[in-house]
Each structure stands twice: as structure tokens, then as C-alpha cells.
């Protein structure tokens, strides 16, 4: 590569991506532009991260506060899809990658870069999410991964940082790999790689120990067409809804998950997650769907929801199928409006009340007491017709032994 070529790097501000700036420059001769995207991961502010990137050798630093964008354009579609990979994981990391990819491509186009770099290894899901996502938005861009492609190991990173006096901490090594954003937090590696070892309380930060005694917290969440718009009657944005429930549900230990997960690359991986806001919101949304979505539509939507989650997990956010499913899911949420009351306590978010002007629940049809409007005389003929095909098959089987 010539010295005039530029490479855009997904930059977190940590050791590996800070070292990657100089490592890429030495290996390729290119100038490096660092891109940092705030998706609600907490920690250092963007200005501090920008200054560190420049101090580590970046020629430019592109920083973006994408918290509302992430909540509105990525977390909200996941909520409408009740997205839980393997019926449990609320796509914490998988959801953040497409918004980071969007800003990497934007930065590359602004600065005339022909290559995008990321810090993923060759055995995880994220390399696929970044590279397929970039290809979908800008197929002309090339991708490299310093850890995978340029032999940047952690011991080499520490040595490089010390030799070049980079302004980052190199002596402490967190025993875990942690990825977090406003939708949740993922913890892996270290002693957790032995799947017999239980998680310890020290690994959690979004949630409190659910076994600790505390008073239950009752919350009412208002939805409009699948979107949470108020909590306890106070209007909220999508981001605020997640943040408030992260605090309130997290205080009761809601949203802790410990699972062995099927990675896209074919291996099984032990993952520990905490996603209090996501789990509470999905539970509330699912129950409001139960009240407002017609039976056949609801049954089919469960299949669509599962496939949507698999596509996003696999890094296919911009695929034609996922985009087509988005249209179905939005349409299916057209009547998902109303209120859900939940009690947060002991690690659980339990629905205790539902109320909706779009409800399909008819008290007169459902009650067994006086006022019942259901005509039970229709049931006998219905059962006869409904079971006709089964009855005919049974008669045939008896006849043929």
C-alpha cells in the first residue's frame, strides 16, 4: 500500500485497538483513521477516546454519539421482533455491530479510505458481522483484521505499547472479555470457559444479586404500535425506556443469562449476559402481543421472530430477507398498543396486568359467569368438522389393521 492510502479502524480506546493504529501503519504503510461509536457502553467520554486515538498515531479521529440512533433503529426493531437467539439471548453484541458498521462506512467515504479494519479474532461471530455488513453497504471496501490477519497477539500488543510509550494501561489484564452497550452486557473467557464453573457475583455490573432481599418494584409500560412511549405515565424515548428499565429491573437482578451458545463459525461458546432492560421490555411486549395480535398472525410471527433473530445474530442485518421481514414485523405491530403492568422482583419481570384499546380479549366471550355471550351449541358441530380428517384416518387404519 502507498503512504497515501487510508484505513479506517473500528476503535474502542482499549489496548488492542490503540496498538492496532501503529501496528497497521507499520505493516501496511497506510494512514489510520480511528472511528469510535458510542452505543451506550459507558466508560470514557468520546473526547477522551478521540484524544487517545490521535496520541496513538491516528491521522484523524471520527467519533459519533449513536445512543439514540442505536436505540431507535436497532434495539426497537429487535423489541418488535421479540428477538431472542436460541430463545434466550437478546442480541446484545449482534445489534451494535450494524450501527458501528454504518459509521465505519460513512467515515471511509468521508476520508477516501479504501479499507476498513476491525479488532476481531478469527474464531468469533463479530468478524462476520463487520465484514458482511461493510460489504452490504459498500462492496468496494476491503477489510482487514489485525488480530486475525496481521498477527497482533495480546503479548505483542503490550510489548508494542511499552516500546512506543502509548498512553494506555498495559500491566493489568482483565480475565474476561466484555462487550457492553445500552441493550445489555456480554461476559466471556477466563474461568467461564470451563462450563462447569458457576458465574461469580463480581462479573456483574448491570444487575444486582437477585437473592438479596428487597421490596418488589411495580412498573407500567405504555406501548404505541410496539414502541415503548411511557413508563409509569411519564413520556420516554426508546433510549430512556431502556435506561430506566436497566436501572429498575437491574436492581432486582432481572436479565441474567448463562448459556452455551451456537456460534456462527460452528463452535459452541459459553456466554454470560445481563440485559435487564431488554428482557423486561421483551417480556412486556410479548404479553401485549398476546392481547392484541390475531391468533394466526401471532403463530406465524413467532416463526418470523426466530428467523429475524438468527439473521441478525449471523451478521445479515442488511440482507434482503431480513429487510423483507422488517416490513412484516412492523405491520404485525400495528395494533400492539396499550399498557402492561409488571412486577420486578427476585430476578424476574412478571406481568400482572394488561390494558389496551386494541385488545382482542372479549370478557363476554371469555367469562364462565352470568353474562356469557359464547353460544356453546356451536361447539358440537365445530368439533365434528374439525376432527373429520383425523377420524377418517383412524377408520382407515383400523380397517387395514
Q: Are 183 and 96 in contact (CB under 8 A)?
A: yes
Give the global pTM: 0.94
40 and 91: one domain?
yes
Q: What's the CATH number where 231 sits?
A: 3.90.1260.10
Statement to judge: residues 242 and 277 lie in one domain = yes
Q: Which residues contact 36 (CB under 8 A, 6 or more apart)?
A: 11, 12, 13, 46, 49, 50, 53, 61, 62, 63, 64
Catalytic site includes residue 126: yes
For residues 96 and 190, state if they share a domain.
Answer: no
Based on the residue annotation, tell me whether 232 is a catalytic residue of this protein: no
Is 323 a member of any domain?
A: no
CATH number of the domain to which 376 belongs = 1.20.5.470
372 is catalytic: no
Q: Are residues 154 and 235 in the same domain?
A: no
pLDDT in tens, 134-148: 999 999 999 999 888
Residue 316 lies in a domain: no
Residues 6+ apart with CB under 8 A from 361: 291, 354
Residue tagged active-site, from 148, 149, 177, 179: 177
Statement to judge: residues 87 and 27 lie in one domain: yes
The secondary structure of the chain in percent helix, strand, coil, rounded to multiples of 5, reads 45, 20, 35
**Domain tally for the chain?**
3
Residues of the chain with confidence (pLDDT) below 70: 1-4, 170-175
156 shares its domain with 240: no
Cβ(134)–Cβ(144) below 8 Å: no
Residue 261 annotated as lining a ligand binding site: yes
Name the DSSP letter for residue 190.
G
Q: Name the catalytic one among 50, 52, 97, 227.
A: 97
Domain carrying residue 208:
178-293+335-355
The reply to whether 93 belongs to the active site is: no
Looking at the structure, do residues 124 and 218 belong to the same domain, yes or no? Answer: no
Is 16 assigned to a binding site? yes
In this structure, are 23 and 122 located in the same domain?
Answer: yes
pLDDT given for residue 2 in this prediction: 44
**112 and 146 in one domain?**
yes
Between CA 73 and CA 289, with CA 296 as vertex, the angle to 5 degrees is 45
Amino acid at each position: 500500500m502507498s503512504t497515501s492510502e487510508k484505513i479506517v479502524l473500528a476503535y474502542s480506546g482499549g489496548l488492542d485497538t490503540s496498538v492496532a493504529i501503529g501496528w497497521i501503519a507499520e505493516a501496511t504503510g497506510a494512514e489510520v483513521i480511528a472511528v469510535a461509536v458510542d452505543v451506550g457502553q459507558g466508560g470514557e467520554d468520546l473526547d477522551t477516546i478521540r484524544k487517545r486515538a490521535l496520541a496513538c498515531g491516528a491521522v484523524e479521529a471520527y467519533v459519533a454519539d449513536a445512543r439514540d440512533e442505536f436505540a431507535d433503529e436497532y434495539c426497537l426493531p429487535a423489541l418488535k421482533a421479540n428477538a431472542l437467539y436460541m430463545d434466550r439471548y437478546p442480541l446484545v453484541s449482534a445489534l451494535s455491530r450494524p450501527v458501528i458498521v454504518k459509521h465505519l462506512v460513512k467515515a471511509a467515504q468521508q476520508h477516501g479510505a479504501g479499507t476498513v479494519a476491525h479488532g476481531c479474532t478469527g474464531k468469533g461471530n463479530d468478524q462476520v458481522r463487520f465484514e458482511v455488513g461493510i460489504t452490504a453497504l459498500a462492496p468496494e471496501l476491503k477489510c482487514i483484521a489485525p488480530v486475525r490477519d496481521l498477527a497482533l497477539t495480546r503479548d505483542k500488543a503490550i510489548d508494542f505499547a511499552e516500546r512506543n510509550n502509548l498512553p494506555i494501561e498495559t500491566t493489568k489484564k482483565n480475565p474476561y472479555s466484555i462487550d457492553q452497550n445500552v441493550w445489555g452486557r456480554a461476559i466471556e473467557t477466563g474461568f467461564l470457559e470451563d462450563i462447569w464453573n458457576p458465574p461469580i457475583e463480581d462479573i456483574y455490573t448491570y444487575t444486582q444479586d437477585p437473592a438479596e432481599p428487597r421490596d418488589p418494584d411495580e412498573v407500567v409500560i405504555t406501548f404505541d404500535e410496539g414502541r415503548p412511549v411511557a413508563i409509569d405515565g411519564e413520556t420516554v424515548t426508546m433510549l430512556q425506556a431502556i435506561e430506566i428499565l436497566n436501572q429498575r429491573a437491574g436492581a432486582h437482578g432481572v436479565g441474567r443469562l448463562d448459556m452455551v451458545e451456537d456460534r456462527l463459525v460452528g463452535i459452541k461458546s459459553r456466554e454470560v449476559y445481563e440485559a435487564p432492560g431488554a428482557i423486561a421490555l421483551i417480556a412486556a411486549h410479548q404479553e401485549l402481543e398476546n392481547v392484541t395480535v390475531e391468533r394466526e398472525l401471532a403463530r406465524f410471527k413467532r416463526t418470523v421472530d426466530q428467523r429475524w433473530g438468527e439473521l441478525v445474530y449471523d451478521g445479515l442485518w442488511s440482507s434482503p430477507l431480513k429487510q423483507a421481514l422488517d416490513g412484516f414485523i412492523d405491520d404485525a405491530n400495528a395494533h400492539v398498543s396499550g399498557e402492561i403492568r409488571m412486577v420486578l422482583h427476585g430476578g424476574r419481570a412478571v406481568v400482572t396486568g394488561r390494558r389496551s384499546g386494541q385488545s382482542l380479549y372479549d370478557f363476554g366471550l371469555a367469562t364462565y359467569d352470568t353474562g356469557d355471550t359464547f353460544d356453546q351449541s356451536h361447539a358440537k358441530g365445530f368439533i365434528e368438522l374439525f376432527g373429520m380428517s383425523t377420524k377418517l384416518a383412524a377408520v382407515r387404519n383400523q380397517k387395514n389393521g
